[in-house]
Structure 1
């Protein structure tokens, strides 16, 4: 069991949208270019996100997408479920028929409860992470990278501090 491209791309695109919507609607073409996600794939994902009332579309010149509610009130689980991403670690899809015997009877396999618990814990965790949490993380990362770049530019080279032919006396 793993999260597929559909869920990963949906979350990534929603972070991008949340980071940039303060200056107006964000186009899928812009998200596609920044995140290297196919435009047609984004159109499919955003159709589902719109139907689940996570985004709103604005038509016409200057149009695009905005969040339908605040990022603080939207969880990663909301996004993943909206794009039909199953979060089930059981091999039977939770139907408890994972152990089909020779007689044709089906029941739970020996590890069914383990995988069902894992599925519940994943959903609980993803439901505890808001889109705003991810936006804040991304902003902190961008700030850290900008500070790192500034720090590298500010540090003078050793040769600038002590020119070769200059004698330093105490």
Structure 2
């Protein structure tokens, strides 16, 4: 299973909203500019996230998007499934060799476990920790 730009950029949107959770709405334009992404493409991605109830849109001059619930209650699995569909490394049928089917099911379940136990809150904490540990060298 390869996660497409839909899933990756959708996760980017959600991480940006999680990082500013409780501070008010964030515009897609600011997210697009900060991450060098297409604002038009982000607009297409935020619609299913809004329809699924993960984000809310705020209208007006200072509008934008906010998370509909705490970042600790939204997993990367929630986001990936909304944007990418079911998690499956391969399409297989009942006719497949049982040993191979078992392997594909175990891989699928392992991927799902990682995605379903990784919250936006933990991704933000990891990102902030990585930024603290990074060094700048000047010559």
Please indicate, yes or no, whether the TM-score normalized by the shorter chain is above 0.5: yes
The count of aligned residue pairs is 137
Q: Give the ranges of 4+ consecutive aligned residues of structure 1 lying more than 4 Å apart after TM superposition.
A: none
User: Could you state the TM-score of these two structures normalised by the residue count of structure 1?
Assistant: 0.74
Q: Which of these residues, 101, 126, 129, is aligned with residue 137 of structure 1?
A: 126
Distance 2:38 2:101 in 1: 37
Give 1:17-166 correspondences, 5 Å limit.
17-92=17-92, 96-97=93-94, 107-109=95-97, 111-145=100-134, 148-149=135-136
Aligned to 1:167: none
Higher relative contact order (CA 8 A, sep 6+): 2
Is the Cα–Cα contact under 8 Å of residues 21 and 66 in structure 2 kept in the other structure?
A: yes
Secondary structure of the residue aligned to 1:108 is: coil
Structure 1: segments with no counterpart, 5+ residues: 98-106, 154-170
Distance 1:78 1:38 in 2: 23
Distance 1:16 1:74 in 2: 13
Is the Cα–Cα contact under 8 Å of residues 13 and 35 in structure 1 kept in the other structure?
A: no
Is the Cα–Cα contact under 8 Å of residues 32 and 39 in structure 1 kept in the other structure?
A: yes
Secondary structure of the residue aligned to 2:56 is: strand
- CA displacement at 1:84 relative to structure 2: 3.3
Is the Cα–Cα contact under 8 Å of residues 90 and 112 in structure 1 kept in the other structure?
A: no
Q: CA RMSD in A?
A: 1.7
Distance 1:53 1:114 in 2: 34
- CA displacement at 1:71 relative to structure 2: 0.2
User: Could you state the TM-score of these two structures normalised by the residue count of structure 2?
Assistant: 0.89
